[in-house]
Amino acid sequence: MRFFKVSKKTVQKTTAYIRYSDAPEGNTVVCIAIKENGEKKVLLKTGDIEGNETLFSNTANTLYSGASAMEIYNAKDEEGFEDEIEREEEKFAISREIFCAELVRDVDPNCAPNYNRYYEADTQKPLIGPDFITNFQSWKSSYHYENQTILGFAINTAGFIDFPSHAGFPAQRKRIRGLGVCAVLLAILGKDDRGGENWGLVEKYNHLQVVLIDFGRCLCRIMFADEEKNQSENSYKDPFDIVKTVFQQYDTSDEPPLPESFFKSTHIKYEIFETIEKLYGMSATLEKRADDNFKEFPRFKTAILHDKRRGIEHLYHQFKNNKEYIATQYINKIIEKAGISIKLSDLDSETATYLQSLYTYLKPFETSIKHDLFFKHIMKIFNPESPNETLHTTPQSM
């Protein structure tokens, strides 16, 4: 079988691919393809058209009621949704997935593979293709609840995994990165059907990276149209509740709870705060992604943009007055001002806790003198020539 990829920048430009092997099991998978005369592999899939069903009018009537809902969705829009989607069901399903993957990568490119549009050469059938990740392990295959191990290695009480020397990696403790990022994004894009097969881990040199590989059940409904439902379904007292709501929905033997130690990991909490803050400032990016992917579905584009902006606003207002949230953003701005390309969530717990304590003690937001003093402390901590300070970070990717 032969396929071709369409360039995102120049639609006239295509790249040839050929079938390489069978794909891992999945509802919509076709095969693994490889670039002709190259080595790059992609996992080709059809669009998840079943995920479109909840946007059709017969379901919409039960989901959207009340005056607030009418701001986004009315009878005319309902008709338009059905017409728009039914004309190009597979194309629409593919657009949903690519929109989500691109937005995830806009926030953190390590949390999802790159997605592109592909076509079968003979039939012109539209397909979607995330880059194939050879060392990806699904969460279901990675995590053993009874033994409290990940990839066969013990999880300690701090949420780290104790790795011996293996596969070219030295013996070391590795932490999970990206869990907070992905939880926030899925809380906005859609947390339905987030089982143990459609997300997982990629082992890096000094951490385990959480990666999302399936967005077929995202953007399947308008989530934030009803203010009353927002309060009950999309409100969180604690930042870790977002992680639990997304990745710990069922608590069954097939999908057991996450390690309890994850909910004591400060870097995951900082990831949550940083992701909410970043999304809150991404209105232009959100609109661009919608324009890129839903220009042929204008009524859906208008509704989904309104919905996601409302969802981000709702999430932001839940935490914007949280003292740790405020401190996290302040510290990150000072780090950025110092010209240092890391965030609070990148730091080891000891250094991050020290910075939070220093912020609480100095109150740098009160006066310019205190602000300057805090800045000097930050510079000293991050100065590699300082003999009395140590700093440990987890690089985003290696």
By percentage, how much of the chain surpasses pLDDT 90?
A: 72
Is residue 2 domain-resident?
no
**Whether 228 and 185 share a structural domain:** yes
Structurally, the chain folds into a number of domains equal to 2
**Mean pLDDT lowest among 35-49, 160-174, 266-280:** 160-174
- Tell me how far apart the alpha carbons of residues 351 and 344 are, in angstroms, rounded to a whole number: 9
Q: What is the pLDDT of residue 57?
A: 47
The answer to whether residue 21 is domain-embedded is no
Q: pLDDT confidence of 144, banded at 50, 70, 90? A: very high
Least confident range from 41-45, 60-64, 268-272, 377-381: namely 60-64
pLDDT of 167 over the 90 cut: no
Residue 6 has pLDDT above 50, yes or no: yes
User: How confident is the model at residue 384, as a pLDDT?
Assistant: 57
Task: Give the pLDDT confidence score for residue 382 in this predicted structure.
Answer: 86
209 within domain boundaries: yes
- Check whether residue 221 and residue 263 sit in a common domain: yes
Least reliable range by pLDDT among 42-51, 201-210, 335-344, 380-389: 380-389
Residues 265 and 348 both lie in one domain: no
Q: What is the pLDDT of residues 257-300, one digit of tens each?
A: 999 999 999 999 999 999 999 999 999 999 999 999 999 999 99
Q: What's the pLDDT at 233? A: 78
pLDDT above 70: percentage of residues in the chain: 88
Which structural domain range is residue 356 located in? Answer: 341-381
- Shared domain for 277 and 360, answered yes or no, is no
Arithmetic mean of pLDDT, 167-189: 95
Q: What is the 3-state secondary structure (H, E, C) of 271-311?
A: HHHHHHHHHHCCHHHHHHHHHHHHCCCHHHHHHHHHHHHHH
Cα distances (angstroms) measured from residue 321 to each of 176, 296, 326, 352: 27, 40, 7, 20
350-398 confidence digits (pLDDT tens): 999 999 999 999 999 999 999 999 999 999 988 755 444 444 454 343 3
pLDDT of residue 231: 63
pLDDT of 73 strictly over 70:
no
62 or 6, which is more confident? 6
Look at residue 46 and tell me whether its pLDDT is greater than 80. yes
Does residue 53 form part of some domain? yes
Are both 141 and 73 inside the same structural domain? yes
Confidence band, pLDDT 50/70/90 cuts, at residue 61: very low
Backbone phi, psi, residue 222, to 5°: -80, 115
**Same domain for 303 and 356?**
no
Between 6 and 326, the higher pLDDT residue: 326
Mean pLDDT for the stretch of residues 55-71: 45
CA-CA-CA-CA torsion sign (307, 308, 309, 312): positive
Q: Do 231 and 345 reside in the same domain of the chain?
A: no
Residue 130 lies in a domain: no
Average predicted confidence (pLDDT) for the chain: 88
Q: What φ, ψ does residue 45 adopt, rounded to 5°?
A: -140, 160
Scan for tokens 């999302």, then name that residue: 212
Dist CA 8 CA 103 (whole Å): 15
Could you say which DSSP state residue 257 is in? P
State whether 300 and 353 are in the same domain: no
Distance CA 89, CA 53 (A): 10
Name every residue whose Cβ is closer than 8 Å to that of residue 140 and which is 6 or more positions away in sequence: 195, 196, 197, 200, 255
Does residue 99 sit within a domain? Answer: yes
Higher pLDDT, 398 or 40: 40
Do 176 and 289 sit in the same domain of this protein? yes
Does 10 reside within a domain? no
One domain, residues 155 and 188: yes
pLDDT tens across 219-265, in order? 998 888 776 655 677 899 999 999 999 998 877 777 899 999 999 99
Q: Among candidates 57, 124, 23, which has minimal Cα distance to 299?
A: 57
> Is residue 24 domain-resident?
no
- Cα–Cα distance for residue pair 307/69, rounded to 1 Å: 10
Summarize the confidence of residues 72-95 as an average pLDDT.
74
User: Quick one: pLDDT band at residue 156, thresholds 50, 70, 90?
Assistant: very high
Residues 104 and 228 in one domain: yes
Q: Letter for the amino acid at 39?
A: E
Does 196 lie in the same domain as 161? yes
Confidence grade of residue 68 (pLDDT, cut at 50, 70, 90): very low
The C-alpha angle with vertex 182 and arms to 180 and 188, in degrees rounded to 5, equals: 110
